[in-house]
């Protein structure tokens, strides 16, 4: 990267949320730079682990259920795309 490089969007902290944002921006053709202190993905902190849990029942409010369903669909898409 050169000092005069420019980007449409810059995502700082490419963990769980940042990697999703970076991925989907790039997928839509946005010129995006992700800045992460480790590799992407990495084996540190909350982004690390061989398994994740997901739940549809939401204690915060039923309006989150469609978001949880959509997130599950996108996880399965990602799984299929990346193996």
Are 46 and 19 a contacting pair, CB within 8 Å? no
- Whichever of 13 and 69 has its CB closer to ligand FAD, that residue is 13
Strand-strand pairing, 9-12 and 32-35: parallel
Q: Is the dihedral of CA 12, 15, 20, 23 positive or negative?
A: positive
- What's the closest the beta carbon of residue 54 comes to ligand FAD, in angstroms? 6
Written as six digits, the tokens of 10 are 């810059």
The DSSP symbol for 4 reads T
- Whichever of 53 and 62 has its CB closer to ligand FAD, that residue is 53
- What's the closest the beta carbon of residue 29 comes to ligand FAD, in angstroms? 23
Task: Name the site residues for ligand FAD (rule: CB under 6 A).
Answer: 13-18, 35-38, 45-47, 52-53
- What's the closest the beta carbon of residue 48 comes to ligand FAD, in angstroms? 8
Residue whose C-beta lies closest to ligand FAD = 15
């Amino acid at each position: 990267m050169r000092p005069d490089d420019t980007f449409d969007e810059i995502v700082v902290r490419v963990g769980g949320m940042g990697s999703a944002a970076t991925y989907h921006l790039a997928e839509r053709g946005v010129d995006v730079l992700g800045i992460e202190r480790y590799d992407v993905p990495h084996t540190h902190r909350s982004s690390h682990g061989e398994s994740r849990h997901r739940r549809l029942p939401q204690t915060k409010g039923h309006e989150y259920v469609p978001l949880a369903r959509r997130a599950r669909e996108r996880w399965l898409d990602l799984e299929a795309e990346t193996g």
